[in-house]
Amino acid sequence: MIVQWRSVLSFVLNLWRGLSRGSLRNKIMTWSFVPTAIILVAVALISLYAYQRVTENLVIERDRDLTRLSASLLATELAAYTDPLADQFLAVFDGVAAFDANGAILAAEPEGYERWNASWFKSISANTSSGSSAPFFSNIVVDGLRGESMVLVAIPIKGPQGDSAGGIAGLFRLDATADSSLYRSIEKLGRGESKCIYLVDGNGRAIYHSNPDYIGHDFSAQGVVRRVLGGEVGALRTRDFEGRDIVASFAPVPGTAWGLVTEESWAALIRPCRRYGQFLLVLLALGMAVPTLIVTVGVKRITQPIADLISAAQEVASGSFSRRLTASTGDELEELAEQFNLMASQLQESYAHLERKVADRTKELATLNTIATVVSRSLDLEEILSNALDEALEVTGMDGGLAFCLEEKAPAMALMAHQGLSDELVCFVAQLPLGVGMAGQAVRVGEPVVSRVADDSEGELGDLMLREAMQMVISIPLVTKGRIVGTMVLGSRSLRPVTPEELSLLEAIGQQIGVAIENAQLYEQAQRLAVVEERNRLARDLHDSVMQALYGVTLYAEAAMRQITSGGGDLAVNHLRAIRGTAQEALGEMRLLIFELRPPILEREGLVAALQARLEAVEGWMGLETEFSAERNGRLSPDLEEGLYRIAQEALNNALKHAHANAVAVHLRHNERTVTLEITDDGQGFDPAAARKQGGFGLRGMEERAVQLGGKLTVQSSPGKGTRIEVEVRQ
């Protein structure tokens, strides 16, 4: 029940939160009504909780007393079984035996029980030897012959001298199907369908249980069982084996080592409380419905003007700033309507200003995007500055301009591009000292500078600008990474104001152009370094191959002259043959070195023609059998053609120098999606894995070129079985 009331309270709180986030009408109703509802719910919960607590205490006290009384009644019933002179004594027990002081069985009924374990009765005699004549109630024992579980009730018999003379013992079998007097006595104690009762011996094992399946089970681990075996009388609220909420009461059975435990369902005990809870729910519903009705009627008259304000605000939010409100309530709502009208007027003005700002900003971004696109079309410095100058003049509306680049070796600026100016002025400013004139102002201050030509007309440069009818000049530094790499001068033949936003835009343009200048300079530097590196490599190759061959030709020639002079003609002929072979080898090396350079035919006629020329001029000339095929003869992009040519060149060089092949084949296939280049030879082959580790045969270089082209290189080779190299590139 407490859980149910907690659910009700949770529902009310969630409803309050939901209404508090709704309309103003809901909020007014919520804040005026929900506190009262919460108080009502709290009172109801407290009342029900107090009722349940009192009920729980009463039930626990009742069950404790009843269980103690039941234990006493059970002890009385057991005492009635211990009168051996009673008429029904033999009918009470499932079996009866007489035994002497040594535990020997003298007689037994029914037959067969005379073979009982004599040690039981001997221990009973020992327990009663102290002179007590009270009946003895045993724990559960097991008949070894029959395998039956049972309890014994022994009545000791005293001798003339007061010593033990044996006794009479009756047994109760622990069997759920047995018609036992003991079980009938215990079952009399049961009350109601929800009640469970069980009797345990001194070891905590169940002598009887309302559920027959539990008879004989060990309950010593249960807290209530430990307490009753300890001699306690009590009751508590706990849970049973199946997790149900119960009230367990317990009491020891007087005169025995046994304990009686009763369990009663808590749900059945508090079932009468539910009607009381339903009654409280009805009262709570009435307490919430009546105030809600009253508050709803009153709030509606207050919130209608606010609803009109919401409608007007929605129109303003949709862009209709001309909406105005009229309210004659004479209270805060009328003042709110006036403030709304003022806000709408200000929003109308601000929106118009914002549209102008957005248009200006969009124009600036478009300008920067155009400049970036223009300067990124080329890596040629003059072309970059010329395109950038044209675009800057168009954007700013100026009449003419100059673009300078700072020289590396001298503190001067070199003119790279001009537009709209006379040849005389262009020749004069072809090279200016750094920091001189209007162009140097931007270099000195590091930001765009606006100046009037009339204010800076001293000197020949000023006179030339006046002859051009220029009235004002804007100097823009070209900056990259905080370093000035050039400057741009824009001139106008009319005076006009230049806003801070325009200067900021020009500064951003200067930074874009500066980055493009740096890229162009780095590209030129990389080209120069590549040329130097290629030149050094060719020099090394010439020294290692051709020069050595020519030196060998010289030695063979001198030896042949000596032989001819001394009359050794045959030996001279051998030397001449060696000269011819060495010269042919040197010529082959020269052809290889020449074709390692970018052949002009690659740029003029494309990859197919370049591969054919290479096979004819090198491999064919050196006597190799060549094969070439191309499925399509269309041109590819310059970078892709050069990359594929370099890969084919490296593979063919390997076939000549290392594989000692007799035949090579080159196949080129390409469609709309992929380009495939395949080079095969019948040479001696190699182990690709070992070659990659050793860095030989140029495999790493070919793989890197394939990756740069966005493709994949495949190498198939093994010693003595030739080589197949394939590169596939997606277009």
Q: In what order do the strands lie in the sheet containing 412-419?
A: 431-433, 412-419, 400-406, 483-492, 472-480, 449-452
Q: Are strands 723-730 and 674-681 parallel, antiparallel or unpaired?
A: antiparallel
DSSP code string of 164-220:
EEEEEEEEEE--TTS--HHHHHHHTT--STTEEEEEE-TTSBEEEESSGGGTT-B-T
How far is the CA of 3 from the CAs of 10, 45, 244, 294, 527, in angstroms? 10, 10, 15, 31, 83
419 or 24, higher pLDDT = 419
Residue 555 has pLDDT above 70, yes or no: no
Quickly count: other Cβ atoms within 10 Å of residue 242's Cβ: 6
Residue 12 has pLDDT above 60, yes or no: no
What pLDDT sits at residue 268?
Answer: 78
- Which range (43-57, 480-494, 514-528) has the least confidence? 514-528
pLDDT, mean of residues 237-266: 86
Q: Across the chain, what does the average pLDDT equal?
A: 75
pLDDT, mean of residues 20-38: 65
* Nearest C-alpha neighbor of 116 from the set 135, 98, 128: 98
Quickly count: other Cβ atoms within 10 Å of residue 279's Cβ: 11
pLDDT, mean of residues 190-198: 70
Summarised one tens digit per residue, pLDDT across range 98-108 is: 877 777 777 77
Residue 707 has pLDDT above 70, yes or no: yes
* Nearest C-alpha neighbor of 401 from the set 384, 377, 379, 425: 425
What pLDDT sits at residue 1?
Answer: 47
Q: How far is it, in rounded angstroms, from Cα 465 to Cα 401?
A: 11
Residue 63 has pLDDT above 80, yes or no: yes
Q: How far is it, in rounded angstroms, from Cα 568 to Cα 464?
A: 87
Residue 665 has pLDDT above 90, yes or no: yes
Summarised one tens digit per residue, pLDDT across range 436-483 is: 666 677 777 778 888 887 776 556 777 777 777 888 888 888 888 778
Residue 16 has pLDDT above 60, yes or no: no
Summarised one tens digit per residue, pLDDT across range 676-705 is: 999 999 999 888 888 777 765 578 888 888
Q: How far is it, in rounded angstroms, from Cα 207 to Cα 200?
A: 5
Q: How far is it, in rounded angstroms, from Cα 430 to Cα 575?
A: 65
Quickly count: other Cβ atoms within 10 Å of residue 227's Cβ: 18
What pLDDT sits at residue 57?
Answer: 83
Q: How far is it, in rounded angstroms, from Cα 188 to Cα 186?
A: 5
What pLDDT sits at residue 396?
Answer: 78
Q: How far is it, in rounded angstroms, from Cα 617 to Cα 652?
A: 12
pLDDT band at residue 649 using 50, 70 and 90 as cut-offs = confident
CB 455 within 8 A of CB 441: no
DSSP code string of 378-398:
---HHHHHHHHHHHHHHHHT-
Q: How far is it, in rounded angstroms, from Cα 451 to Cα 402?
A: 15
Three-state SS at 236: strand
pLDDT band at residue 557 using 50, 70 and 90 as cut-offs = low
Summarised one tens digit per residue, pLDDT across range 501-537 is: 777 877 787 777 777 777 777 766 766 665 556 555 5
How far is the CA of 216 from the CAs of 95, 116, 399, 403, in angstroms? 19, 20, 114, 109
CB-facing half-sphere around the CA of 611: CA atoms within 13 A: 28
181 or 594, higher pLDDT = 181
Quickly count: other Cβ atoms within 10 Å of residue 129's Cβ: 13
* Top mean-pLDDT range of 34-48, 491-505, 655-669: 655-669
**What are residue 517's phi and psi, to 5 degrees?**
-60, -45
- Which range (115-129, 299-313, 643-657) has the least confidence? 115-129
The residue written with tokens 């929003």 in the block is 347
In the chain, the amino acid numbered 84 is: P
pLDDT, mean of residues 131-152: 76
* Nearest C-alpha neighbor of 67 from the set 239, 218, 244, 198: 198
DSSP code string of 61-79:
HHHHHHHHHHHHHHHHHHH
pLDDT, mean of residues 244-266: 88
Please report the domains of the chain, with CATH numbers, ordered by start residue.
Answer: 95-173 (3.30.450.20), 376-597 (3.30.450.40), 605-730 (3.30.565.10)
